[in-house]
Amino acid sequence: MREPLDPDMFADCRPVSSVPIRIGDKWTGKIIICLRDGPRRFTELLVPLRGITPKVLTASLRAMERDGFVTRTAYDEIPPRVEYELTPLGRSLLTPMAVACEWNRTHLPALTSARAAYDAS
């Protein structure tokens, strides 16, 4: 017989709900990848993020700034220029995200097959 699960098994991970939600949402991971090579302007980010609205991109960037993943730099120019850049904390997510992407590339056929089999039953 197996040992019962420890009711405090996530105590070392608190607050367990804060970061996984942010990096697991639809856009944060993609924004991080867009910023991996250096600062980008808002309009530059819209190009590869097909389907994101400016409102959602703004909200995502603000949330990422709040979490310390990106910095926002506004330049006193006309027209105004704003750039977003990964912080060291944000850059620290690149390695685990690369591992997750590789896992996805490797296992996507099996995942797709399992879903199809489940849906067919």
Per residue in 33-92, pLDDT (tens digit) is 999 999 999 999 999 998 999 999 999 999 999 999 999 999 999 988 999 999 999 999
Q: Residue 22 — pLDDT band, cuts 50, 70, 90?
A: low
Residue 35, domain member (yes or no): yes
What CATH number does residue 79 fall under? 1.10.10.10
**Cα distances (Å, whole numbers) of residue 54 to 14, 61, 105:** 32, 10, 29
Residue 6, domain member (yes or no): no
Residue 19, domain member (yes or no): yes
Single pTM value for the model: 0.78
